[in-house]
């Protein structure tokens, strides 16, 4: 019985790690997308300033 408990907790930790890793990757992807958007806005802003 203790062996089963250890096995179950190991499996749970493994699944939890995969899930949090996936969330982390999604977070990184969102951050990269946001950064690209910010760079685009900066470029457009510079063009606007040059026009003025």
Helix (H), strand (E) counts: the chain: 1, 0
Domain assignment of residue 49, given as a range: 1-52
Average pLDDT over residues 17-24: 87
Average pLDDT over residues 14-18: 86
Q: How many domains does the chain have?
A: 1
Summarised one tens digit per residue, pLDDT across range 34-52 is 999 999 999 999 988 888 7
pTM over 0.95: no
What are the Cα distances from residue 28, in Å, to 35, 38, 41?
Answer: 10, 15, 20
Is the per-residue pLDDT at 4 higher than 90? no
């Amino acid at each position: 019985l203790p062996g089963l408990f250890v096995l179950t907790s190991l499996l749970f930790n493994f699944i939890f790690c995969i899930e949090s890793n996936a969330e982390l990757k999604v977070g990184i992807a969102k951050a990269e997308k946001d950064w690209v958007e910010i760079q685009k806005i900066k470029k457009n802003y510079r063009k606007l300033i040059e026009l003025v």
